[in-house]
Amino acid sequence: MEILKVKQGFLILSSLLFICNVSVWMTHAQGLIPAKFDGFVYKDNLPHADTIIIEAFFDPLCPSCRDAWPPLKRALEYYGPRLSLIVHTFPLPYHDYAFFISRALHIVNKLNAPATYPLLELFLNNQWRYTNHHTYNMSRAYVVDHTVEIIAKAVGEDLFSAIKSGFNDINSDLATRVSFKYGCSRGVTGTPHFIVNGFPLPNAGSALDYEGWRSIIDPLINKQDQSGDETPYLLMKDV
């Protein structure tokens, strides 16, 4: 009888601890939910019922992302409002300044959203400035100050102070972390990583050329046009 009482007490205590842990986890999870959907929308073409939605996870210092951007941009220009692109920053840990550059994009997006994609292109085309080898003998303070100057020249000298103070703002740090965590939640492990209408494309980590994008998007648009249904479709096929 005594043993039975001990077991019952243990079960009750275990149940209470489990409930407490679940409550703490739920509270913590709610605190991690961002106020708005993550990412940078290309040319303010927000997703709606009849657009094909592309989510791209980019590390601004990733050479494959640099190679992936021109054909994707060409496809966006070709299809116009039929496509909606959202880029999420996903800084890879083996690029020393990837998080810093990703944070810069979040800062500029808040200050002057239309300048975000031109700045992304600037970083993609000047990755050599931030390679581990190139910055090996540079202090972090020097890299930060030099980058702030580059950004200000690109997006507006009048924003110099706001850009510099942005790197001391906890919100820009949190926004960059949210982007990374969102990528992790979607199974992203490398860049570039593309998700079309909610489904990941194969060959993650490799650039996709223009013909590859056409082979994916054309069937989706044809399917929409033939059915007259505004619900997005995804034709699963290898690229």
Note the pLDDT tens digit of each residue in 41-91: 999 888 887 899 999 999 999 999 999 999 999 999 999 999 999 999 999
* Domain annotation covers residue 235: yes
* Domain annotation covers residue 35: no
Amino acid letter at 9? G
Distance CA 198, CA 35 (A): 21
Mean pLDDT confidence for 154-172: 95
Residue span of the structural domain in which 175 resides: 93-189
Contact 82, 219 (CB under 8 A): no
Q: Do 123 and 179 belong together in one domain?
A: yes
Is residue 7 predicted with pLDDT exceeding 90? no
DSSP type of residue 14: H
Q: Does the model's pTM come out above 0.85?
A: no
pLDDT in tens, 202-224: 988 999 999 999 999 999 999 98
Q: Do 107 and 46 belong together in one domain?
A: no
CB count in 10 Å sphere of residue 116: 22
Q: Do 139 and 69 belong together in one domain?
A: no
Name the nearest CA neighbour of 153 among 126, 174, 131: 126
Q: Do 99 and 130 belong together in one domain?
A: yes
Contact 131, 166 (CB under 8 A): no
Domain count, the chain: 2
